[in-house]
Amino acid sequence: MIELKDLKKSFDEKPVLKGVSVVMDDGKCNLIIGSSGSGKTVLMKCMVGLFKPTSGNVLYDGADFVNLSDKEQKTIREKIGMLFQGGALFDSQTVEQNVMFPMDMFTNEKYSKKRERVKQVLDRVQLKEEAYKKFPSEISGGMQKRVALARAIVLNPKYLFCDEPNSGLDPQTSLVIDKLIHEITKEYDMTTIVNTHDMNSVMEIGDHIIYMHQGEKEWEGNNKEIIFSKNEKLNEFIFASEFLRDAKNMRTIQETGEIPKEVEAGIKDAIEEKLNVDLDGDGHIGDPGKADEPSEKKAPPKK
């Protein structure tokens, strides 16, 4: 579990993180979403110690990372795996060498042991053996991400950080990478933090979603709650971005007929209008009495 307490970060007096508090649980994909510049990367960098927060705390299973000694910080760092934006593989090293790198840095294992572990993790991310001796430039973007993920988990981390793991990937490959991250998180009961813009990821693997807006946590919830949230800023973000790609998910709701009771009529109507479907089967798309109904009111129960 990782807990952030009133985390602040400024650069030259300019506040970028304005006091973020959040709890991220084990065995969950904690997604940090928000528009460009909202502070996702800075937040992640403060968490892993690449930036020193201006104030506040980052607790790793209760241990206050920011105020630990260098030696104690190192113990926690060794439990952190990171998948950097763009993969950040070493161009001049083969796939195998890239994945072995953290073991070379942090362990004294014999070469044969290291190779065994490398094979294990490359198997886990479903990378075929013929790719082991290739250089990053010789494999596809999706394969590069698999390698980067394998490298991030090779030391068996307790905490996994992924900054925009899908950048540059097509939607299908993104889904494969998302699913791998999700499965691995559950399998090893890791606390995983993923920065993303991708609403598909949000719907697929968003066990816990934190929406950042101008350096503040504006909303948090899960991938069921996000669709029906009444938070205006969040709605602006999800509706403006790739919301329509999620039409498929919304249609599932339509097919199963499960619209949570607490859904505000206004939100449901907006979704209906976006998707041009009659979700609640009342014979109308959107709000039937837009002009004469006060917008605050809930719709009467329908059947």
Ligand X SMILES: Nc1ncnc2c1ncn2[C@@H]1O[C@H](COP(=O)(O)OP(=O)(O)OP(=O)(O)O)[C@@H](O)[C@H]1O
Interacting partner of 42 out of Mg ion, ligand X, none (Cβ under 5 to 8 A depending on kind) = ligand X
Structure tokens at 62: 């209760």
Structure tokens at 149: 């993920």
DSSP 186-203: HHTT-EEEEEE--HHHHH
Q: Which is nearer to Mg ion, 192 or 254 (CB)?
A: 192
User: x/- site string to ligand X, residues 77 to 106, per CB under 6 A?
Assistant: ------------------------------
In angstroms, give the least distance from the CB of 219 to ligand X. Answer: 15
| Cβ neighbours of residue 194 closer than 8 Å, sequence gap 6 or more | 29, 30, 31, 32, 161, 162, 165, 181, 201, 205
Residues 11-50 that bind ligand X (CB under 6 A): 11, 16, 34, 36-42
Q: Report the sign of the C-alpha dihedral through residues 77, 82, 84, 87, in that order.
A: positive
Q: Which is nearer to ligand X, 11 or 111 (CB)?
A: 11
* SS3 at position 302: coil
Beta-carbon neighbour count of residue 117 at 10 Å? 19
Give how far the C-alpha of residue 214 lies from the chain's centroid of Cα atoms, to the nearest Å: 18
Interacting partner of 34 out of ligand X, Mg ion, none (Cβ under 5 to 8 A depending on kind) = ligand X
Q: Which is nearer to Mg ion, 65 or 161 (CB)?
A: 161
In angstroms, give the least distance from the CB of 58 to ligand X. Answer: 15
DSSP conformational letter for 113: H
Structure tokens at 32: 């940090």
| Chain residues that interact with Mg ion, rule: CB under 5 A | 40-41
* SS3 at position 285: coil
Q: How far apart are CA 119 and CA 53, in angstroms?
A: 37
Distances (CA, A) of 33 to 3, 48, 111, 196, 221: 17, 18, 40, 5, 12
User: x/- site string to ligand X, residues 190 to 229, per CB under 6 A?
Assistant: -------x--------------------------------
In angstroms, give the least distance from the CB of 262 to ligand X. Answer: 30
In angstroms, give the least distance from the CB of 61 to ligand X. Answer: 25
Interacting partner of 77 out of ligand X, Mg ion, none (Cβ under 5 to 8 A depending on kind) = none
Q: Considering the rule CB under 6 A, would residue 240 count as an interface residue with ligand X?
A: no
In angstroms, give the least distance from the CB of 39 to ligand X. Answer: 4
Structure tokens at 55: 């104030």
In angstroms, give the least distance from the CB of 125 to ligand X. Answer: 24
Q: Which residues bind ligand X (CB under 6 A)?
A: 11, 16, 34, 36-42, 197
